[in-house]
Amino acid sequence: MGRYDNIKVYNNDSWVQPNQIRVYNNGWQDLGTNDSYNTKSLQVRKGNEFKRATLNRRDEEVVTDRWANGRFKLLPANRYCRCPDNSDHTLQYNWYFRTTVEKTTDNAQYLFYCGTGGSPESPGNNYIRVTWQADGKIKVDGRYNGGTVGSVTSSNAVGKNTQVYLNVYSNKGSYKCTIDFNGTTTSGNIYSSFMFNNSTTTVGDTYTKIRNNLAAAGVDGSGNTGSCSFNASTVSGTDNSQYKEVTHRESTRTDTYWE
């Protein structure tokens, strides 16, 4: 495709498309190369009228992929604690984290963390954490009041550069934690329920790409439930009621049209 798609010249016993055209009209006029942005027109007579034979170039940038890159925070920050049940069975709340995610490294990446103090890399005494491990498996681990850490690990593994759907959840009234990872379901009990008003929540890691709908739910220390649901492919750094400090990334290609 090019500027001279509608033009052929006779050369060496055959008709060929020119790469560049220059015409003489009170001096030489350059119409540009076949791939140029030149808009000077060459008119040819057809019947009783003249028509433009040259085409003009138009480039259009097309977005091919969008994602949330790196670590960001969910809001309200303290309302994603995991307490599906407690010791006297009086406090029971649904908890879940759902997203479409890809990691671009073989190293472990922290997908979700809610805790009092600490960080995904070095959690505090009360937390729930979802990790895409270096071995490709999803591990969910949690702790209450500095006690024993409970965990569940997916039975399947997925490596880097693969986009997968992940749904991790605990239904109220049960300590069971279920991992739906790329179509495979694994379940086990995590007894470390916690509810605190000074908790914070982060999602994603340095080498993760989070796309499509992200949803999460939990509770704070006063029994106020929280939830979020938004398109992670299109979110930006603008803070709102559900997230903040998001880094938006996108890849593009350029399509060229001759008109």
Residue 69 shares a structural domain with residue 177? yes
Residue 29 shares a structural domain with residue 98? no
Residue 70 shares a structural domain with residue 39? no
pLDDT of residue 19: 95
The total number of structural domains in the chain stands at 2
Residue 168 shares a structural domain with residue 181? yes
Residue 161 shares a structural domain with residue 182? yes
pLDDT of residue 231: 97
Residue 164 shares a structural domain with residue 235? yes
pLDDT of residue 90: 95
Residue 55 shares a structural domain with residue 69? no
Residue with tokens 């997908």: 111
Answer whether residue 175 is part of any domain.
Answer: yes
Give the range of the structural domain holding residue 79, as residue numbers without chain letter.
64-248
CATH number of 194's domain: 2.60.120.200
pLDDT of residue 34: 97
Name the stretches of the chain with pLDDT < 70.
none
Residue 44 shares a structural domain with residue 20? yes
pLDDT of residue 236: 78
